[in-house]
Amino acid sequence: MFQAPGHSQSVSLKLSEVLRDIGVNERMLLKRRRMLFLKESLANIVAILNGENRSKYIFGSQTEGSTTVGLKSDLDELHCSNVTNVIRDWTEWQIGVHSYMMFKNESTSPGYCFLQPLSADEPSVCKCYVHRTSVCADRRGRFLMKNSFKFCTPHGYFVVNGPADTYSKGHTSGIDHVSAFQCKSWPKEAKIWLTQRGIGGWPTDEIKRYCETTGCFVVPVGSKHSENEEVEWRVSTSKASGCLMLSLNITQLRCYILMKMILKTFINPQCDGVLSSFMCKTVLFHCIKNTHLNQWQEHNLLACLKCCLMSLRYCVRQLNCPHFIIPENNLMAGRISPPVQQQLLTILEAIIQSEFWALIDIPIDDLGMRLQEKMNMLPVYPCGHYYHSSADMSPEASGDLIHHVFNDLDKACQKIYSKTIILARNRHEMVPFLLLNSISSVARLYNTEESTTVERAACRLTTPFLCSSLGSVMASLDIRASNSISEMALAWFSAGLNSDMSSSRLKLASALYCIGEMERAEYILGTIEEKYDLDVVVPVHRYSPCTLSGNGKPGFINKCNTGNEELIKDTAAFSVQFMRCEINCVPQELQYEMFRSTQEDLLVGRDKCCYWLDWAVVDSLPYLYFLQYKTYRHLQRGADQQRALLHLATTIDTDPNLGHRETALNLLGQCLEQENRYDAALSCYIKSRNIRTRNNAANYHICKLLSVFFPAEG
Condensed to tens digits (0 to 9), the pLDDT of residues 322-358 reads: 999 999 999 999 899 999 999 999 999 999 999 889 9
Residue 156's SS3 state is: coil
Residue 303's SS3 state is: helix
Burial of 164 (0-12, 13-18, 19+ CB in 10 A): buried
d(CA 315, CA 451): 41
Cα dist from 89 to 85, 101, 106, 113, 462, whole Å: 12, 7, 18, 14, 40
- Chain-centroid distance of CA 51 in Å reads 21
d(CA 260, CA 264): 6
**Residues recorded for the chain:** 714
Q: What is the pLDDT of residue 546?
A: 43
d(CA 278, CA 332): 11
Are 421 and 434 spatial neighbours (Cβ–Cβ below 8 Å)?
Answer: no
- Which phi and psi (to 5°) does residue 37 adopt? -70, -30
With residues binned 3-state (H G I as helix, E B as strand, rest as coil), the percentages for the chain, rounded to 5, are 55, 10, 35
d(CA 54, CA 101): 20
Low-confidence ranges of the chain (pLDDT < 50): 1-5, 154-159, 167, 170-171, 384, 545-551, 608-609, 714
Are 45 and 412 spatial neighbours (Cβ–Cβ below 8 Å)?
Answer: yes
Q: What is the pLDDT of residue 152?
A: 54
Nearest to 297 by CA among 66, 692, 16, 506: 16
Burial of 671 (0-12, 13-18, 19+ CB in 10 A): buried
d(CA 340, CA 342): 5
Residue 575's SS3 state is: coil
Number of C-beta neighbours around residue 292 at 10 A: 12
- DSSP strands (E only) in 521-676: 538-540, 572-574, 576-578, 616-618
Cα dist from 511 to 99, 210, 504, 531, 624, whole Å: 51, 52, 11, 21, 13
Q: What is the pLDDT of residue 136?
A: 81
Q: What is the pLDDT of residue 618?
A: 97
d(CA 266, CA 367): 14
* Helices vs. strands in the chain: H and E counts, helices first: 27, 16
Q: Specify the pairing of strand 233-236 against strand 112-117.
A: antiparallel
d(CA 378, CA 345): 31
Q: What is the pLDDT of residue 134?
A: 76
End-to-end alpha-carbon separation of the chain, Å?
93
Where residue 375 falls (left for φ over 0; alpha for ψ -120 to 50; beta otherwise) is alpha
